[in-house]
A = this chain, B = another copy of it.
Amino acid sequence: MVKIGILGAAGYTGGELIRLLINHPQAEIVFANSESNAGNKVYDVHEGLLGETDLEFTSEMPFDQVDVVFFCFGHGKSEAFLKEHEIPANVKIIDLAQDFRIKGDHDYVYGLPETHREEIAKCQHLANPGCFATCIQLGLLPLAKAGLLTKDIAVNAITGSTGAGQKPSATTHFSWRDNNFSVYKLFTHQHLHEICQTLNELKPAEAPHVVDTLDEGYEADGITVDFIPYRGDFPRGIFCTEVVTLNERPVESDLIALYKTFYQHAAFTHYSDKALDLKQVVNTNKGLVHVEVFGKKVVITSMIDNLLKGAVGQAVQNMNIMFGIDEKAGLNLKASAF
């Protein structure tokens, strides 16, 4: 039984994590920390938990009683928290924020099981990938590894409103967002950092460098990921298309085989022979990928649930790997489907 502490337990990801863990056969929530909700029942804050748990939020953080701590803070707060608090060395950390996703002066492993499974299994500290980053990488990884990314990549990804978090704002106001559609952070979304990092890690030496345009600018030598994020009028899910131009017209069946082979051992990511629609993955930890070819151009469709495979589902998947448990434990979720 993995003993678990949750920090930031009253937010969206905190709530979704609790919803997963109370049905996890090998996990036990020891504490769910929320300063502002201390003493309140978890089901008073998080939809749908009435009758399932009597857990209360606490202002305590008894790190000595847990095996792992999940950081469900907003971005930038994990690093700050660690400066002010000491977490025992034997307690693992899974950070859902972006603070440690980029390699640097820390020992956090990037938690994308499709590419970093072995490192994850051995790590003490894990940086859980971003939602857009997960979805886009699932679409591009097989081509990156095969050295087939040699020209600029057109990425269009539509996200649900839960990606914007719990705090009400103008662009998450129902009256505005319902039946509406818009773009934001055109070509400048912060997830480009981690996407470029993985693509460059995976590519053969001779393949061109993927330029992190946020850091290196557009004049740098290499290819770019031209990413347009859209706000969709649905709460859950990310739907993404990636258009890659190859040097030569490929054989479609070869490309499909490349994808199927790449994901043959993945616990939750699958190649679909048919065109995709988002609700196939909503409320699940799955990633689905589909490929079509037009001339030299390859169109990949990839999709995930942003709160699950794009956040806490992947975090629990990583926890399972880190503790040597069945990778799917607690994650056999019924798709909402409708």
Contact = CB atoms under 8 A, between A and B. Distances in A.
A162 B183 contact: no
A182 B278 contact: yes
Interface of A: 12, 15-16, 19-20, 23, 44, 46-52, 152, 154, 156, 158, 160-162, 164, 166, 168-170, 172-184, 186-188, 213, 217-219, 224, 226, 228, 230, 232-237, 239, 241, 243, 245, 249, 268, 270, 272, 274-284, 286, 288, 292, 294-297, 299, 301, 307, 332-338
A22 B49 CA distance: 23
17 contacts: A16-B337, A44-B274, A47-B176, A47-B337, A48-B286, A48-B336, A50-B286, A156-B228, A156-B241, A174-B233, A182-B239, A184-B275, A187-B292, A187-B294, A218-B294, A233-B233, A233-B234
Given A174-B235, A175-B338, A236-B338, A47 B226 contact: no
Contact of A168 (B19, B50, B170, B249): B170
Contact of A333 (B154, B169, B186, B334): B334
A218 B296 contact: yes
A213 B152 CA distance: 21
Contact of A282 (B46, B179, B228, B237): B179
A183 B288 contact: no
Given A158-B158, A218-B297, 20 more contacts: A12-B338, A23-B334, A154-B226, A160-B179, A168-B170, A175-B235, A178-B179, A180-B234, A180-B277, A182-B278, A183-B275, A183-B301, A184-B275, A213-B294, A217-B295, A226-B294, A226-B297, A230-B239, A232-B232, A336-B336
A46 to B, nearest CB: 7
Closest 10 CB pairs of A and B: A48-B335, A218-B295, A168-B168, A182-B277, A179-B234, A51-B270, A235-B338, A181-B278, A47-B337, A174-B177
Given A156-B156, A284-B48, A23 B332 contact: yes
A226 B241 contact: no
B295 A47 contact: no
Given A19-B337, A49-B335, A162 B175 contact: yes
A235 B235 CA distance: 14
A275 B181 CA distance: 11
Contacts of A176: 47, 277, 279, 338
A182 B272 CA distance: 14
Contacts of A160: 175, 179, 338
A19 B172 contact: no
B272 A187 contact: no
Nearest to A173: B168
B294 A334 contact: no
A152 B219 CA distance: 20
A48 B279 contact: yes
A183 B139 CA distance: 15
Contacts of A218: 249, 294-297
B334 A51 contact: no
Given A218-B295, A282-B336, A294-B213, A183 B47 contact: no
Nearest to A269: B51
Task: Please indicate which of the listed interface residues A224, A233, A274, A286 has the most CB atoms of chain B within 10 Å of its own CB.
Answer: A233
